[in-house]
A and B are shown apart, each in its own frame.
Chain A
Amino acid sequence: MVPFEYYVILSLLLFVIGLAGALFRRNLIILLASLEIIMNALIVLFAAISYHTKDISGYLIVFFLIGMAAAEAGVGLTLAVLIYKKLKKVYVDEINFFRG
């Protein structure tokens, strides 16, 4: 049986990698993919908690998280396509049409 701490460390690593991707990349698509990596860190953590406490709630929260991730990707990619139709680029530091 793998100790619970290992899962927490793995989840922490995935979260940090996803956060770095969301902060350092300019491409909106890769930013959304980094948000998926952060969501996967949460999935690992909830499944490990559920496995180690013998409580079913964590597995069900993972199920809901996968649904939420699908919804979030749908909305984010819709906005990316809209921004591309307006500006012909998806680089987040060049999107400034809200500036007055």
Chain B
Amino acid sequence: MNWNILIFFYLALAMTFSSLLAIISRNPVHAVLWVVVMILHQAFLLYTLGSEFLTAVQIIVYAGAVLVLFLFVVYMINLRKEERWKVFVSKSSYGFIIFVVFLYLFFKNLAFLTALNPAFKVQLTYDLSQGSNLLWMARYLYSHYLFQFEVIGVILLVVIFGAVFLLRKLKEVG
């Protein structure tokens, strides 16, 4: 039992419990803040997986932009608390049985799921003695994955246009 395993177990437990609390808390502000906690732990998990650049991107983009956007929307539409309702699908207990069966099948076939294919061909190798992880990511991002990189930029631009277009003030016609 070395330090890597201990740190991994701490991060895994913290991520699991914070995401559970995020989906069971009644107050939307608390739910979004629990998602922030999970994302900060996941940023450290990405650091232990050897990519410091993705740690920075995760904190800046997810915790800094996306979740703050969620908080803005929660404050803007001003919902206090979600009331408890009766179940609106009768026979919903069958759903839990199917859920448990699926979980059983997942864990039964775990060896199949977790086996990395031995015929997997490493295409884009990197060597940490020749430069950091960030340097290798930049090399392949601007050469091999250049088209996908540009496509992500276009998608984000379209999202900005869509948000501005959909939320504009409508003028009464006629």
Which residues of A approach B to under 8 Å, CB–CB?
Answer: 1-2, 4-6, 8-10, 12-14, 16-18, 20-21, 24-27, 29-30, 32-34, 36-37, 40, 43-44, 47-57, 59-60, 62-64, 66-71, 73-75, 77-82, 84, 89-91, 93
* CB-based A-B contact count at 8 angstroms: 188
- A37-B19 CB under 8 A given contacts A6-B12, A29-B70: yes
CB distance from B123 to the nearest CB of A (A): 6
- Interface residue count on the B side (C-beta < 8 Å): 71
Instruction: List 25 A-B pairs, Cβ < 8 Å.
Output: A4-B116, A5-B114, A8-B110, A13-B16, A17-B20, A27-B82, A29-B74, A30-B31, A33-B35, A34-B23, A36-B66, A40-B39, A50-B49, A51-B50, A54-B122, A55-B122, A55-B126, A59-B54, A68-B155, A71-B156, A71-B159, A73-B69, A74-B69, A77-B69, A81-B73
Nearest opposing residue in chain B for A39, CB measure: B62
How many Å lie between the Cα of A47 and that of B160 in the bound state?
A: 28
B173 within 8 Å of A by Cβ? Answer: no
A contact face: mostly helix, strand, loop, or mixed: helix
